[in-house]
Amino acid sequence: VRRLALAALAFALAAPAGGGLNVGTTGGLKDVVGKLDKKAAANAPAPDTQPPTVPANLSAAGASSGTISLGWTASTDNVGVTNYRVYRNSSASPVAVPTTTTYLDGGLSVTTVYSYTVSACDAAGNCSAQSASASTATLSTGGTPASVPAGLTAVAGSSVSINLSWTASSDRFGAVKNYKVYRNSSASPVAVPTTTTYLDAGLAASTTYSYAVSACDALGNCTALSASTATTTLSPTGSPAPSAPTGLSAVAASSVSISLSWTPSVDLSGTISNYEVYRVGSVVGAPIGAAFTDTGLSASTPYSYTVSACDTLGKCSALSAAAGATTLAAPPAIPGVPAGLAVTASGGSTLSLTWTATSGATSYNVYRNGGASPAASPTAAAYNDTGLAASTTYSYTVSACNISGCSAQSSAAADNTPKWAFVTGGYIQSSPAIGTDGTIYVGSADGKLYAVNSSGSVKWSYLTGSGIFSSPAIGSDGTVYVGSQDASLYALNPNGTLKWSLSLVFAIFSSPAISSDGTTLYVGSGSNLISVSTGGYQNWSFAAGGQVASAPAIAANGTVYVGSAAGSLVALSSAGVQSWAIGTSSPIVSSPAIGADGTVFVGSENGALIAVSSAGAQRWSFSTSASIRSSPAISTDGATVYIGNQNGALVAVSTMGVSRWSFSAGGAVGSSPAVGADGTVYVGADNGGFYAVNPNGTQKWAFVTGNSVESSPAIGSDGTVYVGGYDDDLYAVPGTTALGGSSPWPKYRHDLLNTGFY
């Protein structure tokens, strides 16, 4: 081992490679690197000791009030110039070491002279001598832009436009603010663009124009004009078409219309005259502006559009990209007319309105006293009208509205709260009569006939021997005639004193009728119809065969019609001679009404409303399905007969015997209807309700009394409705119109005087 080691060591020490023995790999590496260093040194170039040539042609020019621009001719060097050293005012150190042959020296004082020298240096740090000096002064705060616009070109864009472009000018005080474009040596510029292009439009076709441009700075200093250039506009036939509209937008405006808009087109040839709007390949509009509304469309339907722009030369662009929209859904139908409008007083100055909510309505318009504009527009089917004058009648109508519009106004309704209630001493079955002076006369179960002022105060009362269920009748001289359960017929003076009384055999439930000449009264008593002179003497008595609770009706020819419990409707001459009789098989408590043609209408306990000609021939019989104790009234147009039955119905039957409608009052209708001039039908019922019913059979309003209402209403000239109740009260209820209008028989006993005479 020793020999081996020594041999290896000796070999290593004597190795001809020249490497020698090294300790560690890094030792061998360093030996090799030393050889590399030697090779590198051997290959290295000779050191550069030659400086560059001296910079020549140094120039200095004031660039602005704070800068001077330097320039010089490049130096040469055997290796290469790496930079220059700029010296200002013989400074020891360079103020800058640019690598190019220009330098803008900044941060200088205004209008101050500075001198400069420059030397050139190479990478070895060899620098030339400094150049000859050059001096100049910074500018004052003013001057002109440095460069006149160059490279002006003019290219005809169309028959009416020329495109101009030029090279940007430099400005020593900052950016060029704008340029002035002059056409055909004009004194004033035709444009002052801020960029280096300009489209001169509105030119004449096939015409040569020359242009020149100057540049201006922020101080308003402008250069001289550039070199001019000229070109000729195109001929009209060579003009390009307008650009196609872009940005087409379609928006549904309604269920039948779509609004379109787009970005206006550019026309290099002339002026855009209009656009053509296409829907499914067909022109649907030619708007001048960049918007159009297509109407007459179908709801919920998609539509697609394109637009083309056309110019005054008749050229049109390509179609725009298509845009579409779907029309909105169709609006809802206009709601129906509100029904069931009712008005009730709610305090001295407030009226509460309610009506049946109308399907599809989003709001309602409430009109007061026929006003053209709504007094309110509530969203619910109710409204409180406040701030009203006390004791004043207000009339209302309501229309139902939604987004599509408003319905027609409902039938008018007014406050149905009684103006007053006059309390008698007994229940009232008697039906009031109204004198020419407005005095209301009504009998009571307390045996008294009351005369009540229209204000509700008692004028006088006259006590008979028993209850008064008969309805008073008023003569032309103001005499009030009324029968009593005490079997006497009374004639009272207008001041309430007794004029005469006629004692009969049987109680009087019937009501007297007064002949047209005012000389004769007809009234039922027991089973007899009695004729009495207005002087208080009985003329004759006709035995009807059954109780005569029916009140007689007198035709224009003097014929007296009356029903009886015998079930017969009889016709008598003024002399008491029966003309005819027609049986109904059931008692007739109802009192006859006479139509315009003389037809007599009367109800029967068998539920039939019958129509009988003046000659005694039954024209028709209409079954109301329940017994009838009410008496007929005829509509204002004379075509409909109204009557109540004991099943709670107020029925409307045409004068031809055909049902029109039936109103459910909720209680037996023994009361006889009264018809207002506006067609409203008033009637009471045994459930205590008093109803106002529209001509179409819908309820207008109702109010509830304290007991049954079998009295039949009378309507005053001011529209006030008077009716008695089983709660002993005589009510005065606000109405809308006076009695009847042209109705031939608008109420029980025919008229306000209760004459029973047609």
Partner 1 sequence: MMLGVRASAEPMIHEGAANLDLNYPGAGARYFLSGKTAVEGRMQYEKNALSAGARYYWYPPLLPAGSRFNPYLGGEADYVSFKGATTDGSGWSGGAFAGIEYPVSRSFSVQADLGGQYFSVKDKGSGLTQGGLEFVLNFGVNYYVDVKPLLAALNSPRWEP
Site residues (vs partner 1, CB under 8 A) = 1, 5, 8-9, 11-13, 15, 17-37, 39-41, 43-44
* Closer by beta carbon to partner 1, 24 or else 387: 24
Smallest separation, CB 148 to partner 1 (Å): 52
Smallest separation, CB 39 to partner 1 (Å): 5
CB 430 within 8 A of CB 420: no
Q: Which parts of 574-662 fold into alpha helices (H)?
A: none
* Closer by beta carbon to partner 1, 33 or else 330: 33
109: number of Cβ within 10 Å: 11
Smallest separation, CB 49 to partner 1 (Å): 19
Those residues with Cβ within 8 angstroms of residue 393's Cβ, 6 or more apart along the chain or in another chain: 414, 415, 719, 734, 736
Smallest separation, CB 194 to partner 1 (Å): 54
Smallest separation, CB 16 to partner 1 (Å): 9
* Closer by beta carbon to partner 1, 11 or else 537: 11
Smallest separation, CB 46 to partner 1 (Å): 15
Name the strand (E) or helix (H) holding 257: none
Smallest separation, CB 47 to partner 1 (Å): 13
Residue 455 CB-density burial (10 A; 0-12 exposed, 13-18 middle, 19+ buried): exposed
Q: What is the maximal distance between C-alpha atoms in the chain? A: 189
Those residues with Cβ within 8 angstroms of residue 88's Cβ, 6 or more apart along the chain or in another chain: 95, 105, 114, 115, 116
CA 536 distance to own-chain centroid = 71
* Closer by beta carbon to partner 1, 32 or else 656: 32
* Closer by beta carbon to partner 1, 5 or else 389: 5
Helix (H, G, I), strand (E, B) or coil at 462: strand
* Closer by beta carbon to partner 1, 35 or else 263: 35
* Closer by beta carbon to partner 1, 30 or else 637: 30
* Closer by beta carbon to partner 1, 23 or else 92: 23
Smallest separation, CB 6 to partner 1 (Å): 11
* Closer by beta carbon to partner 1, 30 or else 557: 30
* Closer by beta carbon to partner 1, 12 or else 408: 12
* Closer by beta carbon to partner 1, 1 or else 615: 1
Q: Among residues 242, 253, 243, 258, which one has the least CA distance to residue 323?
A: 258
Query: Could you please report the per-residue DSSP string of 525-589?
Result: ETTEEEEEETTS-EEEEEE-SS---SPPEE-TTS-EEEE-TTSEEEEE-TTS-EEEEEE-SS---
CA distance 681 to 735: 11
Smallest separation, CB 9 to partner 1 (Å): 7
Smallest separation, CB 13 to partner 1 (Å): 8
Smallest separation, CB 12 to partner 1 (Å): 4
Smallest separation, CB 51 to partner 1 (Å): 24
* Closer by beta carbon to partner 1, 28 or else 378: 28
* Closer by beta carbon to partner 1, 31 or else 486: 31
CB 415 within 8 A of CB 431: no
Long-range contacts of 482-486 (CB under 8 A, 24+ apart): 482/430, 482/441, 482/443, 482/449, 482/511, 482/512, 483/508, 483/509, 483/510, 483/511, 483/512, 483/523, 483/525, 484/443, 484/447, 484/508, 485/447, 485/509, 486/447
* Closer by beta carbon to partner 1, 17 or else 92: 17
* Closer by beta carbon to partner 1, 4 or else 92: 4
CA distance 166 to 298: 56
* Closer by beta carbon to partner 1, 19 or else 247: 19
Residue where the block lists tokens 């209630």: 421
> What are 615's two structure tokens?
């000659």
Long-range contacts of 388-394 (CB under 8 A, 24+ apart): 388/349, 388/350, 388/351, 389/349, 390/348, 390/349, 391/419, 393/719, 393/734, 393/736, 394/343, 394/351, 394/368, 394/369
Those residues with Cβ within 8 angstroms of residue 400's Cβ, 6 or more apart along the chain or in another chain: 335, 336, 337, 338, 358, 360, 361, 363, 364, 406, 407
Q: Among residues 554, 544, 517, 511, which one has the least CA distance to residue 533?
A: 517
Smallest separation, CB 147 to partner 1 (Å): 47
- Tell me the β-bridge partners of 274: 310
Smallest separation, CB 28 to partner 1 (Å): 3
> What are 612's two structure tokens?
């009988």
Q: Which residues of 426-448 are buried (b: 16+ CB within 10 A; e: fewer)?
A: bbbbbbbbbbeeebbbbbbbbbb
Q: Among residues 210, 190, 186, which one has the least CA distance to residue 198?
A: 190
331: number of Cβ within 10 Å: 14
CA atoms within 13 A on the CB side of 79: 17
Smallest separation, CB 52 to partner 1 (Å): 25
Q: What is the 3-state secondary structure (H, E, C) of 398-417?
A: EEEEECCEECCCCCCEEECC
N residues, the chain: 758
Residue where the block lists tokens 């029109």: 660
Smallest separation, CB 124 to partner 1 (Å): 16
CA distance 244 to 316: 8
CA distance 232 to 154: 9
Smallest separation, CB 23 to partner 1 (Å): 5
* Closer by beta carbon to partner 1, 6 or else 575: 6
Smallest separation, CB 37 to partner 1 (Å): 4
* Closer by beta carbon to partner 1, 18 or else 107: 18
